[in-house]
Structure 1
Amino acid sequence: MRVLKFGGTSISSLKCFSKVVNIIKKNYKKDQIAVVLSAPKKVTDNLFYMIEKSCQTKDIKEIFNNTKDIFFYLIKSLFDSNENYYYLNIYNFIELKFNRLLYLLNIVFNLKFCPNSINAEIVCMGEIISVKLMELYLKNKNIDVFVIDPKKIFLSKGQYLESFIDIKESERRIKKINFPKNKVILMAGFIAKNKYGELVALGRNGSDYSATALAACLKANVCEIWTDVDGIYTGDPNKIKNTKLINKLSCKEAISLSYLGAEILHKRSIFPILEFNIPCIIKNTNNSNSYGTSILNIVNDEKEIIKGITFLKDIAMISIFICYNIKTINIYNRILVAFKKSNIKIIFMMQSSSESNINIFIFQNNLSESKCIIEYEFCFEINNKLFESIHYKSDLFILSMIGSNIFKNKNIFINIVKFFNFIHKKMISILYGGYLSNAFSVVLESCNIVNDLNNMHKIFFEKKNFIEIFIIGNKNIKNCLFNLFYKKKFFFKKKHIELKICGISDAKKLLINENGINLKHWKYNLSNSKIIFDSDIIIECLKKNNFLNPVIVDCTQNKIISKKYADFLIQGFHIVTSNKQPNISSIDYYKKIRNMSIISNKKFLYNANFNTQFPIIENIKSFLNLSENKNYYFSGVLSSAISFIFERLNKGMSFYKIIVLALQSGFSLKDIYHAILGKDSAENLLIIARELGYNIEIKDIEIKPIISKKFLKKNIKKEIFNISISVDNKFKKKLQKAKIQGNVLNYVSNIKNGKFIIKIQEASPNNPLFKVKSKENIFIFYTNSHKSFPIILKSFSYKKNIYIFNILNDLLKLT
């Protein structure tokens, strides 16, 4: 025996109805089947609406006729002729039922309220008509049918509109029925009868409940729930992108999903199949070949630990803070009893580990009544100040993931930490354990639920590391970076990394697309963009969209942009930057950025501050972590322009020729000017000093420039020849002196004994500075205990924009 239940969407049109009939034909030839039907789509909602309007003594003529027409349009499309015997039969049956409906609604209209017994009879009419229609249509197609009346077999307990089936008594009744073989058994869903012989409704998803209860009573081999989707998905496909079909669910997982908000089988529908160990399959009427989702008593599936995510909205939290001399277990039990008496559902109730407070989670529409219950039940405790305080919060959400052995899997735990990093600012509480031990939930303050669901789904199901990039920089730098991304595309694919460029700016105009920018035409589109660059636009884009790992990549040296870093961090962006301004500005702002990074739990990465082949900042931090002796000092050449110049000066080349060669090698006059003034070296030394723990400003660094001070304020383009003569004269004697000693000259940045100085100094053959080559940077770290064995880092800056590799390296740290 197989039980097949078809929902409202499956019988709402000729096309759908015909598919249902084909499924019935295909199945009843293999095995005897029992078919349970819902009312067509919209019918039950319309019936509830008519009751509501009749109570308000409002006109229902339009909705009444529209509901009636749903059936009339259906039968006209199903039967060939209005003279058809079966057509006339169902037509008259519909007229009869709607006359009865009108009679009942008139009673409601006159009473101005709807008695529960009438309410139940009205809302169940759709299912009764559906079964009669299917019976006559199948007979018209020469398929034998046996109709069973749910009122005769299902004994229910509870309320008129939310009853529970007594499975044992119903099973005893159904055993008395002699089901004819080779006939399709038909039954209306949603309907039962109480012990007084009154018709009652089975509540939300009542037809599913009817089907699983019938399967239990018949000891069916399987219960199939046919709907308009392929099965149960890892999330709501209407809200979450890239959801996946779940192949198998345990009954316990299905109950948890249902309880925590997923619109699948109601938990009442699952209990019969759980108790009688009957497989339940959710299948698609429009895709009958799909395997669907199987709900089984036990599922042994180690691969799929997390099965799905869901949410509840409009949640309120009541927090009761209790004095230490009160036993919380007594308070806990009194809350349960008081709320049960008032029929208020407690979703969760959690006691803190310190037992000093109890948190109660309920639906928000019950909050006012719940306040009254708390104040009445605990008036003695409140008046005698045995409660420290009672707090109420509303507009909350509960986001949940459901699976098995959640915290026994290392990868799941890592993903939970990732999710916490994303939602920690709006998280109120964590819910885990108890009856729903296979679920892990977080309570969030008012939020963009769609964004949070999508990000949660990405973390736990897509198995990719997402990075959404907003890049600011000039055309050449962006070109280099985009070309690097393209060259690394196979590496990204292998590592499951997905880079998405969502914003491009030159700090004047802004190109933005939350779904990702097509890089084939980015230059043209940016030049034609009408959006003026504004950091607030980028922040607003983050707020509106479900970015999981957004990052600002700043390839400028723009002070104004660097002043926005604190805002970017606190709003949820990581920052990867080559912009030195935040690190060379005041020590207060330097510390503020780092504090914001900690508070927001977002990374501030700046290895690209140095145009080196390796992440120098990372290496400095490693040196500090590994160094047992904190008495260290530093020496180095921190400018590739300086090493270019001094290699040639040491060989006797004139400064003028060196400048000409430098310009031919890609250096600008501005680069050269900043180098010989010591500006580049000073900025880099300031960053290193601060990384080493010195709270200094740029003014604390003593700079002895290469050129005479009288040239400092002059135009380098006009004075280049005079500057060259000055440098040549200045170096002539120094070079001769150095050569006699077998030494060379270099422009060296030093940190020693709390002093910071940049000056020209000699280097002997045993000194690491002796062999500094053109365009090379060298970083030398000494400790007092290992003066003879310093840590030496060298980098050859053969390209001006080599720091883009450090940008990529920093981006990979975000995965």
Structure 2
Amino acid sequence: MQVLKFGGTSVASAKNITLVKDIIVQKKDAGSLIAVVSALGGITTQLVNASLLASSGDEGYLKLLNQVEQKHIKTVQELISVKAQSKTLGKVKILLNDLEDICRGVFLIQELTAKTSDKILSFGEKLSSTIIADFLNDSGINSSLAQPQEFIITDNNYGRANVDFGVTVPKISAYFGEQLPVYICPGFIASSKDNQWTTLGRGGSDYTAAILASALNAAELEIWTDVSGMMTADPRLVRSAYAINEISYEEAMELSHFGAKVIYPPTIQPALEKSIPIRIKNTFSKEDAGTLISANASANGQLIKGLSSIQNIALLNVSGSGMVGIPNFSHRLFRALSNAKVNVVLITQASSEHTICVGIDASDISKALTAIESEFAFELSARKINPVEVEKELAIIALVGANMKEQVGVSGNMFSVLGQNGVNIKAIAQGSSERNISVVVHEKEVKKALNSLHESFFLSDKRVINVFMIGVGNVGSALIEQLRKQKSYLSTHHHIDLRVVALANSRKMYFQERGMDLKEWKNKLEHESEPMSSELFLQKMAELNLRNSIFIDNTANADIASVYNGVLKESISVVTPNKIACTNSYEEYLNLKKTALKYKAKFLFETNVGAGLPVINTLNDLIKSGDEIIKIQAVLSGSLNFIFNNFNENTRFADIVRQAQEEGYTEPDPRIDLSGVDVKRKILILIRESGLNMEIDDIPSRAFIPKECMNAPTIEEFFKKLEEHEDTFQKMIADAKKAGKKIKYVATFNKGKAETGVQLIESSHPLYNLEGKDNIVLFTTKRYPEQPLVVKGAGAGAEVTASGIFADIMRIANAN
């Protein structure tokens, strides 16, 4: 005897039921079969709602019953030939009339008992099985409608009745002794010993099928649903989830208990006792292999078989000194909850015995508190225990796999992955079987937690990095183009899926959760965006709550820099060429570092100094390895270096500055570069990264541009003033040439003091031959006391700055 079960989605419509018929036709050639069917999709929920409305005296139940009627009549009309329809419609009408009579009685007395509720809910399966059996017969398939209330016998625990297997098994054997080709059996329904209708609980159709398979010693139990097996995670939350090929009974029970809806938890037990394999199949893709649940499931070397979650959880924390050393305290607590019919889904207790924490369904909070407060009234009044603490809006995430047993590092990896993504763990539970590690997290963190863990344990060869970028000017545009060109290479050679999720300029912002097409970003930002608001941008970034997120600030905006602390608190890493944040007060700078450390985020700003040059990383490596900075000498302005390298006695200073402006080496207002403020910020960052406390006002700067020029009201006026002071600049060139030296704008740190300004550099010095827009930094340290460590190269330009930002992104991507 073959046993197949078809769930609500498989019989949700006439079209779907036709697919079920095709499967039955294919299977019946291998011998007799029983097809256990659920109610049509959504009907059970409508019956629950109708009964509740009726019990409250709300005539709205009639509208719901009418919808139920119309759906079944429509299904009959679409499935069964006109010639045979009247007979089936007559059966359906009788059932619907009985249903309406019962609901009418509930409405009149405004009372809904568990017994009456079971009777109402059973109509869903009675109706669907009647229609499907008649449809098969009308299609030429000899089938019989089984009556489970005649052979599945239970107690009177209405709503979730307990099966009496001693009576049930022989009844099943006798009932199906004739071995007809096809039986259609309504799931979920049973009867008590005194012939009252009972049900096996929501999801009980799976259980019905397992009971039949066990009693009839079926070779295999097939459960047909709308997915191709048990998945590694909920595909609605984790898009990369995939079907598990094989899984053990124990692993399947763990996953189903913790929210995997493909199979009802009690289903597995009858099959397990008889070692009957269970195969999960997809009605809508019947060629897919599905998942095989058996005692001999192959692990294929996998430590973890799946991730699961339960939402709408509350934690109750019972604590107090009066609990310590009291032998029956736990017994009293769980007895009180059991008597109140509160199901405990997670338990954790400290070895100090000072606290017990239990996880329950949030809907049971009120009755759980009442039960505990009643049981421990004396202890509460005597302050031997504290008032019960309640935490709501939580979820349980479970990591399941039989091969976790005695495997070192699984829990450590789990906690590390969650911590790196800013997921706070409220409670932890792991049984001695070591098949399950469960953690309680906030509901809003579930999606990120599941995706992070799934990526780590199942898709470790491909890491998703989500990028949020403000600033798409020269540097931003260059960075986007570099990301676009490297995307395929990173995926193939570094197994990194780098996604740009959001882009913004000063006017508009555009979000695309799954990552945008970087060929179309300009068009999307221009035409499919929304008005830019830094507050809204940050809010949306936090609400998306994506794993491995990086915020990139390509601006020089102080307002954007001011939000870094809040971004880091969301465990989102920050990468920026914006020097403002690192050159505000030392206290603010240090706070950003501490926040990043606390919330497991990265704060990287390599491009603050030297664009794409590895200046800060080199300095950090020196400090981390125990070296000590004695002196720093540096040319840190590519624009000023360009200007002084191209200015001579045959050129005008104003013309060279204008050329630097036109070629993009300076800011639109060149005075920003010529003032030396940018260089002061850069040397300050190096000093702070060396471990020293210094403020920007502690660094004197020797001005070389006359004040009259710097105070000009407009940029054009500024250039005119430069022309008027050409003699001043020509004298600088003449003095340098006479001394056989070159003019460089140098930042120096030595013996705890720093300064910036124009210096005349002799030919033997490393700074002398610095060409074009290059930067150079000389680190004199305890390990490099005579010959300084030199970092030299292009220090300005959109492309090199973008490459430096890209390098910081890759440091974060490869950090774990």
In the alignment, the residues of structure 1 paired with residue 465 and residue 199 of structure 2 have an alpha-carbon distance, to the nearest angstrom, of 50
In the alignment, the residues of structure 1 paired with residue 45 and residue 662 of structure 2 have an alpha-carbon distance, to the nearest angstrom, of 79
In the alignment, the residues of structure 1 paired with residue 521 and residue 75 of structure 2 have an alpha-carbon distance, to the nearest angstrom, of 53
Shift of 1:316: 1.9
In the alignment, the residues of structure 2 paired with residue 659 and residue 47 of structure 1 have an alpha-carbon distance, to the nearest angstrom, of 80
Shift of 1:197: 4.1
Alignment partner, residue 34 of structure 1? 34
Alignment partner, residue 507 of structure 1? 506
Alignment partner, residue 536 of structure 1? 535
The 1:706–1:64 alpha-carbon spacing in structure 2 relative to 1, beyond 3 Å, is: closer
Shift of 1:700: 1.3
Letter matched to residue 215 of structure 1: A
Task: Describe the superposition over 1:283-334 as per-residue Cα deviations: whole angstroms up to 9, x where unpaired.
Answer: 2333322222222234222355444433323322211222177226532222
Letter matched to residue 443 of structure 1: V
Alignment partner, residue 590 of structure 2? 591
In the alignment, the residues of structure 1 paired with residue 577 and residue 45 of structure 2 have an alpha-carbon distance, to the nearest angstrom, of 60
TM-score (ref. length: structure 1): 0.88
In the alignment, the residues of structure 1 paired with residue 43 and residue 481 of structure 2 have an alpha-carbon distance, to the nearest angstrom, of 58
In the alignment, the residues of structure 1 paired with residue 671 and residue 130 of structure 2 have an alpha-carbon distance, to the nearest angstrom, of 93
Alignment partner, residue 346 of structure 2? 348
SS in 2 for 1:164: coil
Letter matched to residue 438 of structure 2: S
Alignment partner, residue 474 of structure 2? 476
Alignment partner, residue 690 of structure 2? 692
Letter matched to residue 811 of structure 1: I
The 1:350–1:728 alpha-carbon spacing in structure 2 relative to 1, beyond 3 Å, is: same
Letter matched to residue 211 of structure 1: A
In the alignment, the residues of structure 1 paired with residue 283 and residue 57 of structure 2 have an alpha-carbon distance, to the nearest angstrom, of 40
Alignment partner, residue 360 of structure 1? 358
In the alignment, the residues of structure 1 paired with residue 340 and residue 164 of structure 2 have an alpha-carbon distance, to the nearest angstrom, of 24
Letter matched to residue 783 of structure 1: T
In the alignment, the residues of structure 1 paired with residue 207 and residue 639 of structure 2 have an alpha-carbon distance, to the nearest angstrom, of 79
Aligned length: 804
SS in 2 for 1:795: strand
Letter matched to residue 775 of structure 1: K
- 1:195 counterpart (193, 196, 201): 193
The 1:129–1:638 alpha-carbon spacing in structure 2 relative to 1, beyond 3 Å, is: closer
In the alignment, the residues of structure 1 paired with residue 704 and residue 544 of structure 2 have an alpha-carbon distance, to the nearest angstrom, of 52
Alignment partner, residue 728 of structure 1? 730
The 1:423–1:676 alpha-carbon spacing in structure 2 relative to 1, beyond 3 Å, is: closer
Letter matched to residue 548 of structure 1: R
The 1:693–1:18 alpha-carbon spacing in structure 2 relative to 1, beyond 3 Å, is: closer
CA contact (8 A) 1:326 1:386 kept: no
The 1:783–1:520 alpha-carbon spacing in structure 2 relative to 1, beyond 3 Å, is: closer
Alignment partner, residue 488 of structure 1? 486
Instruction: Confirm whether residue 434 of structure 1 aligns to residue 436 of structure 2.
Output: no
Alignment partner, residue 627 of structure 1? 626
- 1:206 counterpart (204, 207, 227): 204
CA contact (8 A) 1:5 1:208 kept: yes
In the alignment, the residues of structure 2 paired with residue 785 and residue 92 of structure 1 have an alpha-carbon distance, to the nearest angstrom, of 96
1:227-626 mapped onto 2 (5 Å cutoff): 227-302=225-300, 304-323=302-321, 326-327=324-325, 330-406=328-404, 408=407, 414=413, 416-424=415-423, 427=424, 429-434=426-431, 437-445=434-442, 447=444, 457=454, 461=458, 463=460, 464-473=462-471, 475-494=473-492, 495-523=494-522, 526=525, 531-626=530-625
In the alignment, the residues of structure 2 paired with residue 269 and residue 376 of structure 1 have an alpha-carbon distance, to the nearest angstrom, of 36
SS in 2 for 1:442: strand
In the alignment, the residues of structure 2 paired with residue 227 and residue 528 of structure 1 have an alpha-carbon distance, to the nearest angstrom, of 42
Alignment partner, residue 170 of structure 1? 168
Shift of 1:404: 4.0
Shift of 1:756: 1.1
In the alignment, the residues of structure 1 paired with residue 234 and residue 251 of structure 2 have an alpha-carbon distance, to the nearest angstrom, of 16
SS in 2 for 1:10: coil
Letter matched to residue 204 of structure 1: R
SS in 2 for 1:299: coil
Letter matched to residue 729 of structure 2: V
Alignment partner, residue 68 of structure 2? 67
Shift of 1:455: 5.8
Shift of 1:621: 0.7
% identity of equivalent residues: 25
Structure 1 range deviating more: 254-263 or 8-17: 8-17
1:659-808 mapped onto 2 (5 Å cutoff): 667-668=665-666, 677-706=675-704, 713=711, 716-730=718-732, 732-733=734-735, 735-737=737-739, 739=740, 746-759=744-757, 767-784=765-782, 786-797=784-795, 799=797, 801-808=799-806
In the alignment, the residues of structure 2 paired with residue 250 and residue 792 of structure 1 have an alpha-carbon distance, to the nearest angstrom, of 60
CA contact (8 A) 2:634 2:748 kept: yes
Task: Describe the superposition over 1:235-269 as per-residue Cα deviations: whole angstroms up to 9, x where unpaired.
Answer: 44445534423333322222222222232222111
CA contact (8 A) 2:233 2:307 kept: yes
Task: Describe the superposition over 1:338-384 as per-residue Cα deviations: whole angstroms up to 9, x where unpaired.
Answer: 21222211111210244321111112222222222212222232233
Letter matched to residue 17 of structure 1: I
Letter matched to residue 345 of structure 2: I
The 1:505–1:438 alpha-carbon spacing in structure 2 relative to 1, beyond 3 Å, is: same
In the alignment, the residues of structure 2 paired with residue 315 and residue 669 of structure 1 have an alpha-carbon distance, to the nearest angstrom, of 55
Shift of 1:697: 1.8
SS in 2 for 1:268: helix
The 1:688–1:166 alpha-carbon spacing in structure 2 relative to 1, beyond 3 Å, is: same
**Uncovered stretches (5+) of structure 1, i.e. residues with no partner:** none
In the alignment, the residues of structure 1 paired with residue 617 and residue 604 of structure 2 have an alpha-carbon distance, to the nearest angstrom, of 9
Task: Describe the superposition over 1:643-662 as per-residue Cα deviations: whole angstroms up to 9, x where unpaired.
Answer: 4455567x977674866875
SS in 1 for 2:444: coil
Letter matched to residue 533 of structure 1: M
Letter matched to residue 52 of structure 1: L
The 1:570–1:644 alpha-carbon spacing in structure 2 relative to 1, beyond 3 Å, is: same
**Uncovered stretches (5+) of structure 2, i.e. residues with no partner:** none
Shift of 1:796: 3.3
Shift of 1:168: 4.6
CA contact (8 A) 1:611 1:800 kept: no
Task: Describe the superposition over 1:743-768 as per-residue Cα deviations: whole angstroms up to 9, x where unpaired.
Answer: 76644322122111235556566643
CA contact (8 A) 1:322 1:328 kept: no
Shift of 1:173: 3.8
The 1:389–1:789 alpha-carbon spacing in structure 2 relative to 1, beyond 3 Å, is: farther
Shift of 1:673: 5.3
Task: Describe the superposition over 1:614-641 as per-residue Cα deviations: whole angstroms up to 9, x where unpaired.
Answer: 321111111111234x362222222234
SS in 1 for 2:755: strand
CA contact (8 A) 1:193 1:199 kept: yes
CA contact (8 A) 1:452 1:546 kept: no
SS in 2 for 1:220: coil
Letter matched to residue 440 of structure 2: V
CA contact (8 A) 2:226 2:283 kept: yes
CA contact (8 A) 1:474 1:555 kept: yes
CA contact (8 A) 1:189 1:208 kept: yes
Structure 1 range deviating more: 404-413 or 185-194: 404-413
CA contact (8 A) 2:422 2:599 kept: no
CA contact (8 A) 2:251 2:435 kept: yes
SS in 2 for 1:814: helix
Shift of 1:387: 2.0
Letter matched to residue 293 of structure 2: I
The 1:116–1:614 alpha-carbon spacing in structure 2 relative to 1, beyond 3 Å, is: same
